[in-house]
A and B are shown apart, each in its own frame.
Chain A
Amino acid sequence: MNAKKKILIIDDEQDVLAYFEAVFQDSGYDTVLAGNGFEGFELAKLEKPDLITLDITMPEQSGLKTYYQFKKHPVLKKIPVIIITATDESYKNFLNELNGFSTPEVFLSKPIDPEELLKVVADIFSDNNIKK
Chain B
Amino acid sequence: MAKKTNKASSKSDLEKYINKRLFDTIPLGIAVIDPDYNLVYANKTFEQLFGSWENRKCYHVYKNREDMCSRCESAMTLKDGLPRANEEAGYDKNGRHIHYLQHAAPIVDDNGNFLYVIHIFTNITEATQIRDEHQVLFDQVPCNILLIDRNFHIVKANKRLTDWLGDLEGKYCFESLKGLKHKCSECTARQTFADGRTHTGYHVWKSPAGKTLHLHVITIPLKRADGSFDLVMEMAVDVTQTLKLQDGLKFAHRFLETVISTSMDGIFAVNEKGRVTIFNPAARKFFNVKDNQVISREELAGILPQGFLAQVSGEPGHAYLPETEVKTIDGETFPVRLVGNKLKRSDDSLLGMAFSVQDLREIKQLEKEKLEAERLAAVGHTVAGLSHGVKNLITALEGGMYMLNSGLSKGNIERIQKGLEMLMRNIERISIFVKTFLSFSKGREIKAKICDPAEIAKEVVDLYEVKADELGIALTNEKLGDVLPAPIDYESMHECLTNLVGNAIDACQVSNGGSCYVAVRTFEKNGIITYEVSDNGCGMDYEVKKKVFTTFFTTKGLGGSGLGLLMTKKIVQEHGGKIELESKPGKGTTFRIRFPRSRLPKVIEKG
Contacts and interface: CB of A to CB of B under 8 A. Distances in A.
Interface of A: 12-16, 18-20, 22-23, 26, 57, 59-62, 65, 86-87, 89-90, 109-112, 114
B544 A18 contact: no
A21 B406 CA distance: 13
Nearest to A12: B557
Contacts, number: 73
Contacts of B395: 13, 15-16, 19, 86, 110-112
A18 B391 contact: no
A96 to B, nearest CB: 15
Interface in B506-562: 543-544, 553-558
A22 B556 CA distance: 24
Interface stretch (B21-29, B375-383, B418-426): B418-426
B388 A87 contact: yes
B394 A22 contact: no
Interface string B408-443: 000000010010001001100000000000000000
Contact of A18 (B418, B543, B554, B555): B418
Interface size class of B (residues with CB under 8 A): 20 to 34
Given A22-B415, A86-B387, A110 B406 contact: no
A36 to B, nearest CB: 10
23 contacts: A12-B557, A13-B395, A15-B395, A15-B399, A15-B400, A15-B422, A18-B399, A18-B418, A18-B422, A19-B395, A19-B400, A19-B402, A19-B403, A19-B422, A22-B406, A59-B553, A65-B543, A86-B389, A86-B392, A86-B395, A87-B388, A87-B391, A111-B398
Nearest to B401: A19
Nearest to A19: B399
Given A86-B387, A110-B392, A59 B555 contact: yes
Given A15-B396, A22-B403, A112-B398, 20 more contacts: A12-B557, A15-B425, A16-B392, A16-B396, A18-B399, A18-B422, A19-B395, A19-B422, A22-B406, A23-B402, A57-B553, A59-B554, A60-B555, A61-B543, A65-B543, A86-B389, A86-B395, A110-B392, A111-B391, A114-B402
Contacts of B415: 22
B233 to A, nearest CB: 96
Contacts of A61: 543
A110 B391 contact: yes
Interface string B315-356: 000000000000000000000000000000000000000000
A110 B398 CA distance: 10
Given A60-B555, A87-B388, A111-B395, A15 B402 contact: no
Nearest to B560: A59
Contacts of A20: 399
A23 to B, nearest CB: 7
Contacts of A59: 544, 553-557
A62 B391 contact: no
